[in-house]
Amino acid sequence: MVNVKVGDVVPTGKFATVYYTPELESHAACGAPSKLTTDAFKGKKVVIFAVPGAFTPSCHANHLPPYSEKYAEFKAKGVDAVYVLSVNDPFVLSGWTRVQGVADKIIPLTDLDGAWSKELGLIVDLSGAGIGLGVRTTRYALVLDDLKVKYVGVEEDPTQVTVSGADAVLAAL
């Protein structure tokens, strides 16, 4: 059950990321994970879109690429930062965003153990999917302004990208 709505202040969350650096262009480099919390969103307008998994079909082909392609439009609408969030480890998310050519435009966030998404009621159990995906974030998007929720788009079918997609979020800004 979704526990977050427009007007809410998001709960404190802890995340990990591998921030992009030019050294990561060498696919032999892995980078070093950094930890951050929702404090990184204070005083900022941020877009967070969550994917069930890096390199999975809808996430890889339909969700991340439009955010990257329309990054300048997000910035033009006053967005300070765009994050892609998943339970995948920070090295996988870093590798995925590098393969996608995102560089430093979109910051990959690991939702440690899915704890933040679980608190928001935005977890899906894909254990029965037959391929061992386990518990993941569902597919969703949030617009936060100084930690206050301005938009929530949660996909009823996590294989689809509609209300959590770049176009829907841009229209809501």
Which of the residues are catalytic? 59
Does residue 140 contact residue 122 with C-beta atoms inside 8 Å? yes
Cα gap 140→137, rounded to integer Å:
8
Q: Where are the beta strands (DSSP E) in 8-71?
A: 14-17, 34-37, 45-50
For the chain, where are the alpha helices, taking DSSP H only? Answer: 57-58, 64-69, 71-76, 90-99, 115-120, 166-172
| CA end-to-end span of the chain | 25
Cα gap 97→20, rounded to integer Å:
9
Under DSSP, the state recorded for 17 is E
